[in-house]
Structure 1
Amino acid sequence: MPDAPPRHVLSLSGGKDSAALALYMRERIPQMEYVFNDTGKELPETYAYLDRIQDYLGKPVIRLNADQGFDHWYDVYGGMIPSNHRRWCTKMLKLKPFETFIGEEPVLNYVGLRADEERSGYISHKPNITPVYPFREDGLKLADIERILRDSGVGMPPYTEWGRTRSGCFFCFYQQKIEWLQLKDKYPDLYEAAKVYERPYPGSGNVFTWSQGESLEELERPERAAAVRREAERRRANREETRADLTLAEVYANRFAPPSEDDDAACVICTI
């Protein structure tokens, strides 16, 4: 018997690049399967954006993790919150559910890395899963991704309207400190919910924090919050001054770059 043809699977993160890739591939691969790994801790805008994408695609976005979200694995790991050094959230809430969904069949996994970026990160390395990078293959850059989203009517992720630069959990540890304060401004209840996780780790008594070097309680203190906002504004003003000396291509390349703090290439499966 001839080998069965591979399945075609595209993972949506709630970010602009995977959204644009789903729209870009809709007519090219009609049999595409679209999946979203739901941690149960996404922003309200992320869920609304996924619904908008699903409506445009005309087929369901399969939600994984329906029964084992973040809190389940948080308990399994003994109350230790994840960080860039202990990314159990990506492993248990993104990679493993995805690989379980795929099984052992041959699969082409479509990834929205653009031609104008050098990111790498957490993707599956199972031998039956072959990554495909259509944007890189076709030379599509940030301006093209914006055009795809604009022309479709789907638009940019709505959380970008209030300053958030990435998809992922509302308490993602890769957030910049100014983004934490923007979360507090927009969703004070979610900020308070994130603070609850910052408690002593039973194994050692150490307190792990979401934001490097300080707790959310420390970050929100008026004098500290004011300093973070001043620094963010200073960086924004510097970027505006620099824009006059950039080429159009450089402006696009830097438009959604984080204004501060090391991104560390984050988790591709979470953020593209």
Structure 2
Amino acid sequence: MTQSEKHVLGLSGGRDSAALAVFMRQNYPHLDIEYFFTDTGKELPEVYEFLGQLEGFLGKPILRLNPDRDFDYWLKQYNQFLPSPQTRWCTRQLKLRPFEQWIKPYLDEGTLVHSYVAIRADEEYREGYNAKQKNLQVHLPFKDNAIDKAGVMEILDASGLGLPKYYSWRSRSGCTFCFYQQKIEWVRLMEEHPDKFEEAKQYEKTAVENGSPFTWTQGESLEELSQPERIQQIKADHEKRLQRMRDKKQTNPLRPDEEPIDIDDLYGQAKGCLACHK
């Protein structure tokens, strides 16, 4: 008896996973891949817009996996303590848990589930989902095909999709109040989506009042960060970093179009959760 198989590809609303979906559609059209997006309910509006464009290109709907319990529920469960790089309960409860609940029946019945993950050839493999079941196989097509960041950009440009609009001011998808944001990204969130910034500020205020040891951004509250003098300081620091990066960067004559500079490349900090930001 032939073992049944299922092919899945998770989309974060970000650049790399979108490019992988395009790559798989173009190079493996015979595979019936189910594309899914785990919706926390706290995503940027630009993410939903980009997912709609991607659905048009793929010619099939992207399944929305919604957590059975929302962010506010889990915040209460964790005693109003905000998630942080040290305690990433948001990824675990709002991203990984819905995925596990979705594929569990298939794994339990013995279906071989192939999961395609957008780790590029120029990245170290970061564990996004620890496959404990022997019938869940993780594949890294970009690694296998030597596709790097510039290759991802070429795929998106050639498809006509280009980058999600939020890349003009932020280099990650994920929740509006993601704690992996750099300070310049918080400033830009305040400018682009003031309502989302105010929501994040209110979450932080409630958390601090309940004894949370974490604020959204290390070393200062959003109230402090949003003061005019502090905003000027953050912007000036960011411009200095950009100029230093441009001065060090060598133009590749084979790729004259400059790759966009990711904010994390400037600040040299953690890239964030694989399930959220690829």
TM-score, normalised via structure 1 length: 0.91
Q: Distance in 2 between matches of 1:165 and 1:271?
A: 9
Deviations 1:90-148 (A, max 9, x none): 10111111111111232110001111111413323231321100011011112221111
- For 1:101 and 1:154, how far apart are their aligned partners in 2? 28
Q: In the alignment, which residue of structure 2 is the partner of 1:138?
A: 145
Task: Quote the residue 2:15 is aligned against.
Answer: 16
2:154 to 122, 147, 156: 147
The question of 1:176 aligning with 2:177 is answered no
Query: 1:120 is paired with a residue of what secondary structure?
Result: coil
- Confirm or deny that 1:190 pairs with 2:196: yes
Name the % identity.
43
Does the aligned pair in 1 maintain the 2:7–2:31 contact within 8 Å?
Answer: no
CA distance in 2, matches of 1:113, 1:249: 23
| SS in structure 2 of the partner of residue 197 of structure 1 | helix
When structure 1 is superposed on structure 2, of 218-227 and 43-52 the one drifting more is 218-227
Q: Work out the CA distance in 2 between the residues paired with 1:259 and 1:140.
A: 19
Deviation by residue 1:2-22 (Cα, 9 ceiling, x = unmatched) = 322x21000000111000000
Aligned pairs, how many? 269
The answer on whether the counterparts of 1:114 and 1:139 sit within 8 Å (CA) in structure 2 is: yes
After the TM superposition, which parts of structure 1 deviate over 6 Å for at least 4 consecutive aligned residues? 249-254
Q: Secondary structure at the match of 2:19?
A: helix
How far apart in 1 are the matches of 2:208 and 2:199?
19
Structure-to-structure mapping, 1:68-107, within 5 angstroms = 68-103=69-104, 104=107, 105-107=111-113
Distance in structure 1 (CA, Å) of the matches to 2:265 and 2:140: 27
Unaligned runs of 5+ in 2: none
CA distance in 2, matches of 1:219, 1:79: 21
Counterpart residue type for residue 16 of structure 1: R
Cα 1:16–1:206 shift into 2, 3 Å: closer
Q: Partner letter of residue 3 of structure 1?
A: Q
Q: TM-score, normalised by structure 2?
A: 0.89
Q: Distance in 2 between matches of 1:53 and 1:74?
A: 32
Distance 1:66 1:269, change over 3 A: closer
CA-based RMSD: 2.2
Q: Give 1:153 deviation, angstroms.
A: 1.1
